[in-house]
Amino acid sequence: MKSPIVLPILAIACVVAFLFTLRARLLPSSDPASSSGSADDSEQRTPLRLLAIGDSLTEGVGSTASNGWRQQLSWNLTNAGNAVEFIGSLRHGNFSDNAHAGYGGKSISEITPFVIKDIFQHPDVVLLLAGTNDMMGWPRQPWESAPMRLGILMDKVLKENPEATLLVGRIPHCKEPIQAARVDDFNAALDDVVDSRLALGHKVLLVDMSEVGVDGAYLHDQYHPNDPGYAIIAARWLEGLRAASDSGWITPPII
């Protein structure tokens, strides 16, 4: 038989244990791993798939090791805490995340069939910078209709990836005066090209990097930027990505 002292102690212990159990069931867990934040963290770790489409300015000709603007943009994004992955069938540059779809020497209409395999990789964001080769006046297609051809390329991207965000760049200038004037006309026409796709409900944004090459500044040669020029292009892309993110077009948002 238990002593008269032991029985009250056992009763008190049972009551205390019951109260602690009840408290644990009623109060939310303080363990961060069990909170809703863990789902958000997991989502943040899912890389945002970026596809860079263009010509030799996307490839990175004129820059150190053909890193171009892609390396700088990748660094800027990841150093800010974003998880990103560049995709595409080509690789140039001495950094790991160096995939792209920049077909050097190609005009817009020549780029279009090449990128079909790239857009089937279903990017979250497409960075399109093309048109410089169309300004050369080569016997391919009239430079005046280059904005229309860019629109056709945009439509192919958006048809296959209707939920993707498409950033379209105004192209940098060239040193040669006649071609520089053509660049001005081409870039001015892009407002209507982009606005017409916006009106259809697509997520399309115009990004301006045309300051590169004005009066020959930031150029490696007649047509290609140098490292500082590519750094400017990377900065403009980052501004565009953040603007698109602020509009709710990119998930998870760009930091």
Q: pLDDT by residue for the chain (255 residues), tens digit each?
A: 444 444 444 444 444 444 444 444 434 333 333 333 333 443 456 899 999 999 999 999 999 999 999 999 999 999 999 999 999 999 999 999 999 999 999 999 999 999 999 999 999 999 999 999 999 876 678 999 999 999 999 999 999 999 999 999 999 999 999 999 999 999 999 999 999 999 999 999 999 999 999 999 999 998 999 999 999 999 999 999 999 999 999 988 998
State the residue range of the domain holding 181.
43-246
| 29 found inside a domain | no
pLDDT of the residue at 141: 86
Task: For residue 112, give both structure tokens.
Answer: 């279009």
pLDDT of the residue at 255: 87
pLDDT of the residue at 202: 98
pLDDT of the residue at 33: 32
| 221 found inside a domain | yes
| 157 found inside a domain | yes
| 9 found inside a domain | no
Q: In total, how many domains does the chain have?
A: 1
CATH number at residue 118: 3.40.50.1110
Distance CA 190, CA 136 (A): 18
Give the global pTM.
0.82
pLDDT of the residue at 137: 77
